[in-house]
Structure formats: C-alpha cells, structure tokens
Chain A
Amino acid sequence: MSNFVAELRDVHKSFGNTVVFCDVNFAIAERDTVSICGDSGSGKTTLINVLGLLEPPTSGRVIWESCEVTYTKMSRVARLRSKIFGYIFQQCNLIPELNVVENLMLPKRIAGEAGEADVDFVRQLLRQTQLTKFENRAVSTLSGGERQKVAAIRAMVNRPRVIVADEPTGNLDEKSANLVMDAIVGLCNSCGSALLLITHNKRFAEKMQTSYVLTNMRLRRME
C-alpha cells in the first residue's frame, strides 16, 4: 500500500476533440511540496480539478488514500474531498455576505462539524498570519493580500491532507505575493498538509521539493 494521499494513473482528459492532457501519472504524498508549472491554457487547473474530482477524467483512475474514487457517488466524493483537499484559488472567492471568521468557519459548517474547538483553531491560524484584528471585519474591507491569506486559512480549517493552491499569488504584487506564499507554506507546515502549488512564478516553484511542468499535453517532472 502506498503512502500517497492522491494519485492520477494513466489519466486522459479531453473536451470534445480537444485533448487537454494524456497519460498523466502523478502522485502526492503526505507533507510533500509539489509545484506544477506550465503556460496559460496548458491544462494545469484542469489537472487539479481532475485530481479533486471536481470534473471527471475522460479515462484513467483517480485514487485518494489508496482507494479508487473515479466512479464514486458525487455526494460521497464531496465529503471525502473536504477532508483530503483544501483549495486556494487565484481569486479568493470569499463570500461577501459573511465576515472573516464566518468565511473561515464555512468548511466546518459544510462538514457539519463546527464547534468551539474549531473557532479556537481558526483564531490560532489568524494569529499565525497576523490577521487577528480582522476577525469580525467584512471581507470587502480587506486588501488583496489579506483576502488571499484568509482564503489560505479557510483551506486549512478542515486540516486537509493536501492544500491545492491554484496560482494564489497571480493577482498580487511581489511583496504581497511573498507574504502570502510565506503564510501558505507556514500554514502547511504547522498543519502537516502537503502543498500542491500551481504557479507561473519560477522562484516559488523552485522552493517546492518536486516540480512538474505541463507542456504538450504531458506532465513532466523537472530535475
């Protein structure tokens, strides 16, 4: 039995006649830090969507914690996904109707596990990222960097096995991008989660233990 948290085996994905990628074999283990680079439109986001079963592969197998889930019922996949993956997107996707702490508690509410201990955990993460003073603020009053940090904490709230960060610094200036990346890496380390980073930034990619590049419909490991 492997210790991989999530795997893609011989995965092929196409939209109609357009092939996005084929014969992809990819795995991420506990506490791994992995980056995937590639040109815009090369299929990086589609790859992580297939890994998280947000969309199904055209062929191949998706395996989470040594169990094949490719054809599992969607409601079960949704439950499993919230335990295995935490997502950070380029656009923070915070809910404007909720304040910071309510946004952070949302994954726990969806899992039906929101409790006092979780609020304390959220406060601890806010302290770690120097966002304590924003706890009860409306998300619309936060800066881009602050929002992205909040989005990073939200991804951590369920203590997932893998944090999937899809170009989390794409909309930020260099200074804010550094701060956000430091926060993400720090949070992953403190929670013991693996990090799968999709980025165009070579400097961030090089900081990861393993780097891949998605080009010409193939995923290749960079030495």
Chain B
Amino acid sequence: MKWYAYFAWKQLFPTGRKLSFFSAMSIFGVALGVTVLFVVQSVMDGFQHNIRRAIVETQGDVRVESQDVECQGLIHGTDNLVSFLMNFPDVAAVAKYAYGITMLKCGGRTAFPMVKGIDVENEPKVVDLLKFVKHGSLEGLDCGGIALSSDLAVKIGAAVGSRVEIYSPLMVENSIDGDVILPKTLEVTMIFETGHHNTGRNTVFIAIDTLQDFYNIGDGIHGIALKVKPGVPTEKVAFALNQSLRYPLVAASWQEMNRDFLFALRMEKTMMFFVLVFILLISAFSIAGSMLISVIRKTREIGLISAIGGTVIGCSMCFFLQGAIIGIIGSTIGIIFATTVLCFRNVIVYSFAKLCGVEDFMLRFYSFANMPARYGVGDIFSTMAFAITLCCLAAVVPAIKVARINAAEALRSE
C-alpha cells in the first residue's frame, strides 16, 4: 500500500479507535444521501416501468391509423391492408379496431365511456386482453355482448349477465331529422381490470361488427393494432412501415403515441434526481469543510511528512483519498440500506399507511396494489460512482490547500 493511502486510511480509522467522529459523520451523511437517492430513483423507475407496461399491454406495440380528416379518420376496404401488414417483416399479429364515445345506462345509472370495437378473434393476439379478465369471458362479445372495466361496472352497478343500454351519438343526429332510433341493449359478458388508473378505466369493449353497425360506418375502422415479434424494437417497425405505407395511413409505435406522457414521466424522475442530489451535495460540502479544518489542524504534521521524505503530491493525495474512501464506504453502506428498504418497501409503506389510517391509498391514487421498484446492477454502480465522484470533488479543495503548504512554514506553525 502506498504511504499516502495508508496515511489517509489511518486518518479516518485511527489505531486504537474504531472510527473517528469526523469519519462517522461524513460516512453517515453520504450513506443517507445515497439511500434516499437510490430508493426514490428505484421507486420512480418501478412506477415508470409499470405504466409503460400497462400502456403496451392495453394499446399494442404499433398502430396504423388514417390522418384523413375528411373521412373522420376512417379506413375502408381494409382486407388488402390487413394482409400486407400480416406479411410485413417482424409483425407477429394484427387486429382491427374502431372506437367512439357512447352513453351507457344500467338501471338508473349512466356513464359516458369510450367504446372500443375489437376483432374478438385477433385482439388477444395483439393485446394481452385475457390477462385482464376478472369475470366472464371474451367470447361473449361476438354474440352481442359488452365488456366493462371493473371501475365502470361498479359505477353503473352492472355485473356479468346484467343488461345495459347503449346510446349512439347518431341518435341525436337522426332525431333532428325526425327519425327515432332506440338504444341497443347488450348483455355484460366480461368485466376486466387492467390494474392501471389511466388505461381502460373508462372503456368498454364490444365486437367491431356491432360498433360498425351501431355507428353506421359500414366496414370502416379507425386503425389496426400490431404486435411486433419479441426483441424487435417497435420504433424500427413503425419506421419501416411508414416507408411502405401511403398517405393518409401512418404507423406509430406506442412510444410515439404516448410521447408527451412518457416525457412527463422521465421529467418527473429527472426532477426528483435533481432535488435529491442536493442531499449528496450538502454531504460533500460538509466533507470539504471538515477536511479543510483538518488541514489547518494538521499543518505541522504535513510539514513533518515533507521533512521525512513525503512529496507534495503524496501529501495532497492523503486528503484526496480520504474523500474517496468516505465516498466508497458511504455509498456502499447507502446501497445496502437502500436495497434493504426496497426489499421491505411494502411492509414499510403499509405500516405507515395503517398508522395514518389510509391503507388503500396506493390503489386509490396510483392504481397499483403494491409499491413498485425497479433497479439493476447498473443503477447500483452509477449511483455509487456519482456519490464517490462528488466526495472526491469535495476533497479536491483541501488537497489543493495541502499542496500549497510550505514545509518550513508548516513546521513553524503553532
């Protein structure tokens, strides 16, 4: 071991004492900062991952839609398009869809959900719809059934087997012309739950034929959802499709379709990181302050080391390495704390929630039953590297001060 590394270690962990007060406080400060930073970033990552997964699982990988405003975005005569997409490289499955706003009535209760007409045979190949079935089955949709989200079912008091009335906006248009169209009565054949607040909460599914008939759009559809083969980037497939498709047809990956939302998620994580970095910065400043005091206190010792053969660089390295050692030990302890906290996060969160009497807040506000968290070895190393770098930077100022000390003056200092 080089003498300056040995000396730096001994300054932090003196012989005869396990830990100096300065070392303990500095290491604890860094550990605390790393713990908070890592826990928050992991939870934010977990939320982000769950939301992204929910989006993919409910929307499909890529969508092909029309931008023709005159046709209200409808695509007619889609057989050739469907077979083209089916045979397109890296496409695993396709499913047509159409959608609109409707009024739903069950007993005396009404709701205004988004109704989505799906290709009952192909939709499960594109979107993992069967995973979300809570009651009933998807097959019933083909026989004039309707699938409700669990939230909506609760809202209007419907269950599997209930009959609901569905009102089309066409009824308003036709009533102006003097025609009277009666609402359609459909039987609830499935109740689903995506597990996410924003996706599918206010949505109902019916068969696409039923929707086309209901909205009087003939064979028109609003788009085709695509499932991409595993491991193939969805943006790449969307880009390749756009090279082949002609206006007004446009392909968009799920990332493009939710660009603003995903950007907001990323920004949220970045902002949290930015705010929490200040904890580490405070630790770094406190380390720099304590080490500067230490430099002044140990001026004579620095002079002595110069007198017995220590070089200026060696003396500076002593102080620089102290910062690095504090960073390494502090960040290691911080990561151990953080992974322990993450391991028991649900116990901690629910204990705290129980104490405050708000046990169901996770489900109510975030639509996740458990607090998500996601981290990998890369996250551990990047957080540690960041903390160690900050601690090393904090030690640079004391190290420079040491380099400027004149040995003879140091030996004369009181």
Contact = CB atoms under 8 A, between A and B. Distances in A.
A91 B2 CA distance: 27
Interface string A184-207: 000000000000000000000000
A95 to B, nearest CB: 6
A54 interface: yes
B261 to A, nearest CB: 56
- Which range contains the number of B residues in contact with the other chain? 20 to 34
Contacts of B314: 110
A77 to B, nearest CB: 9
A158 B307 CA distance: 13
Nearest to A89: B411
Interface string B1-42: 011001100110011100010000000000000000000000
Given A55-B406, A55-B407, A112-B3, A82 B14 contact: no
Interface string A97-133: 1110010001101111000000000000000000000
Contact of B15 (A110, A111, A138): A138
Contact of A54 (B10, B14, B16, B307): B307
B301 interface: yes
Contacts of A81: 307-309
Nearest to B304: A93
A112 B191 CA distance: 77
A146 B15 CA distance: 19
Contacts, number: 83
A9 interface: no
A52 B307 contact: yes
B305 interface: yes
A110 B304 contact: no
Contacts of B311: 74-75, 78
Nearest to B298: A95
A14 B265 CA distance: 68
B74 interface: no
B305 A110 contact: yes
B310 interface: yes
A54 B408 contact: yes
B58 to A, nearest CB: 62
Given A99-B16, A102-B10, A109-B3, A75 B309 contact: no
B15 A97 contact: yes
Interface residues of A, number: 34
B23 to A, nearest CB: 11
A59 interface: no
Contact of B304 (A89, A102, A111): A89
B272 interface: no
A85 B304 CA distance: 12
B125 interface: no
Nearest to A109: B3
B236 to A, nearest CB: 57
A96 B14 contact: yes
B313 interface: yes
Most chain B CB inside 10 Å of its own CB: which residue of A79, A102, A106: A106
Contacts of B310: 78, 110
A86 B308 CA distance: 7
B391 to A, nearest CB: 20
Contacts of B20: 97
A111 B10 CA distance: 18
B295 to A, nearest CB: 15
A3 B2 CA distance: 34
B14 A97 contact: yes
A95 B303 CA distance: 12
Contact of A91 (B15, B300, B306): B300
10 contacts: A54-B411, A55-B406, A75-B313, A78-B311, A87-B307, A89-B304, A93-B300, A95-B304, A96-B14, A97-B11
Interface of B: 2-3, 6-7, 10-11, 14-16, 20, 300-301, 303-314, 406-408, 411-412
Given A87-B308, A102-B15, A110-B310, 8 more contacts: A46-B408, A87-B307, A98-B14, A99-B16, A106-B3, A109-B6, A109-B7, A158-B309
